[in-house]
Structures are given as C-alpha cells and as structure tokens.
Chain A
Amino acid sequence: MKVLMIIPAYNEELNIENTVKKIIKYNKESTNKIDYVIINDGSTDGTKQICEKNNYNVINLIHNLGIGGAVQTGYKYALENNYDVAMQFDGDGQHDENYIDSLVKEIDNGANFVIGSRFIEDLSEFKSSSTRRMGIKILSMLIKICTGKKIYDPTSGFRAADKKVIRLFANHYPTEYPEPESTTELIKRGLKVKEIPVKMHKREFGESSIKPLKSVYYMFSVCLSIIITSISAGGRK
C-alpha cells in the first residue's frame, strides 16, 4: 500500500526537523515504507528554508490558507499521485510515529477513515487543558446525537483516509473547523469511520493555533457546522 503522510506546517521551524526525523526513523524500523509531504502554509519564519536546506518533500503554499486549506492541499497531492492511504500528522511534534501502523492496519481491514484518539484508552500523557477537554466532550456528544456514532476525539488531527475519502476530501474539505465537520460528513455519508487509541505528546515548541479568547465563538461555530453538515449530508448517502 502506498501511504502518504500529510504534514501541515505553519511557522514550525523549531519542530519540523524532528517531525521528519520521526518518519525517517519509522521508515528504517518498519517494513512498510511511507512517503511524506510537508505543506508549508505560507510560514513567515524559516520553515521554508529549513525544508529546502534538508531537501524535504515540501509544497510551499504561495499564501497562508489556514489548517483546512493546507491539509486539503495534501489530499489533492495524494489524489494526483495515486496514494492508497493519506494520513494527517501534525508538524508540531504532538503525534507519535509508533501508531502509524495501527492506523494503516485499520484501513487495510476495510475502514474508510481512522481517527487516532486520545480518549479511548489511557495511553496519552497529554490530554490538553480541562476546558478544552470539556469542549471536546460537548462536540463528541453533539456528533453522537446528530449521527448516532460516538467519536471520542473529534478534534484529533492524527487521522488516516482511504482512497475514497481522499477523493472526497480533495473535492471538498471544510476550511474553518475541519476535523469535527469532516468526520460528521463521512459518518453521514455512510462511510466506515473507526477510532483507535493513540498516545499524544505535548507540543514541543511554540503555541497551539487555537486562541482562548476566540474559543467560545469557535465552539458555537463548530456546533452549528456539525448540525448543518449532518442535515445537508443526510440525503446524499
């Protein structure tokens, strides 16, 4: 199976080398080789220079698009280059390369989409702040109400998609609140979404992209986007 790792990176000059090293290390230890592509989302720091210096496989977006637009570029790249599996892997060091195989295996077993979850089993030392955890619980509950399926970690950015989902995401991927909304859409379309436990780390350097002041509006918007998606995608099964 041809596996592509999509690494969105916005101003990650301190983390990006470690992230790529993780994948190189994975490729050395594993029998299954995976490719990666860094989507440099118009970074204003040295991310671009570091990628070019090390000759990384990178796509430099000519303007900043935000996380949704950057990840979608990765799915477009996966579609163009005919990959069987596309995975999202954050460039900030949160995700653990030891779980790549478990995600790919689930796709192999027939799942269309696999989410690496922090909250299924107690593997993770990093669970983010209690307010954010509560936000995630609310989203999780709302998705359960709208789709009938429980997703424990709807905001996880560690996800794997099969060919069908790659095609879908390349065509349409939400820009603003991508993770919960896209997951809802997949479930509503009747695709097989699976969630497996993974370990996540604290960000190695730098600040996370969600600012606390905006979080109330964020919650309101995400909740609405889940409800609207579940209504509009319902008829298109």
Chain B
Amino acid sequence: MNINLKLSLIILLILQLVLIINRVKRKKMTMKYASFWILLIIIMSIVVIFPGIVFKLSNIAGFEEASNMIFLLGFFFLFYVSFIITTSISIQNEKIKTLIQEVSLLKESVEKNGKKD
C-alpha cells in the first residue's frame, strides 16, 4: 500500500476518533454507542496498518478481489446499523407516546381538581 494513502487514512481515522471523544465529552453521545464506533475505528486502523490481513481473509472466503469483500461487509454493516436504528426509534416512539398520554391525563386531573377548590 502506498505510504501517502496509508498516512492520510490514518489521519482520517484519528480525526474521527477525536470527533467521537468530543461528542462524549459534550454529552452528545453516550458511551454505549461511542464504544461501538471506537471499536470500529480500532478494527479499521489494524486493517490500514496491516492490509495483508484483508487479502488473506478474502482469499479464504473465496472472493476474487479483496475490495469486493470490503464492499459487501460495508454494505451489511450499514444495513445492520440502520436496522438497529429503526428498532430503537420504534421503542422510543412507544415510550414518548406513553409519556404524552400520562402527562396529558395528569394535567387534566390536576386542572379539574384546581377548579373545584
């Protein structure tokens, strides 16, 4: 692998890492999700530093080109991530719905009792 390409990829990964740590510091991301992304960065760094691993793996799995395997894995990964996101959105919607209902019912009963006094 070209040394310039290697260096710029590593710089990109470091920037991404800084971005994530910043998010966590500013409480814009919880550790649960941050660890997930940091783990991904670690794996990507290993691949960038030792690209031979990818070629070996794709050979074993039977891919003609190592890049095919990368694209396929990337696609599966993104698919899985958006699947997880729709699941968690559904759960949150349900929680928000219950919250709105309970608060509205409570508000109504508080206001009604206030009128009686």
Contacts and interface: CB of A to CB of B under 8 A. Distances in A.
A175 B104 CA distance: 17
Interface residues of B, number: 11
Contact of A73 (B93, B94, B101): B101
Nearest to B112: A57
A229 interface: no
Contact of A65 (B97, B105, B107, B108): B97
A197 interface: no
Contact of A76 (B93, B94, B101, B107): B101
Contact of B100 (A58, A62, A77, A80): A62
B105 A80 contact: yes
Interface string A61-72: 111010001001
A69 B97 contact: yes
Interface in A35-94: 58-63, 65, 69, 72-73, 76-77, 80
A212 to B, nearest CB: 25
B47 interface: no
A126 B94 CA distance: 35
Interface string B46-90: 000000000000000000000000000000000000000000000
Interface of B is mostly: helix
B103 interface: yes
A73 B105 CA distance: 8
Nearest to B90: A175
Contacts of A69: 97, 100-101
A62 B103 contact: yes
Contacts of A59: 104-105, 108
Nearest to B111: A60
A58 B105 CA distance: 10
Interface of A: 58-63, 65, 69, 72-73, 76-77, 80, 175
Interface of B: 93-94, 97, 100-105, 107-108
26 contacts: A58-B108, A59-B104, A59-B105, A60-B107, A60-B108, A61-B100, A61-B101, A61-B104, A62-B104, A62-B107, A63-B100, A65-B97, A65-B101, A69-B97, A69-B100, A69-B101, A72-B97, A72-B101, A73-B101, A73-B104, A73-B105, A76-B105, A77-B105, A175-B93, A175-B94, A175-B97
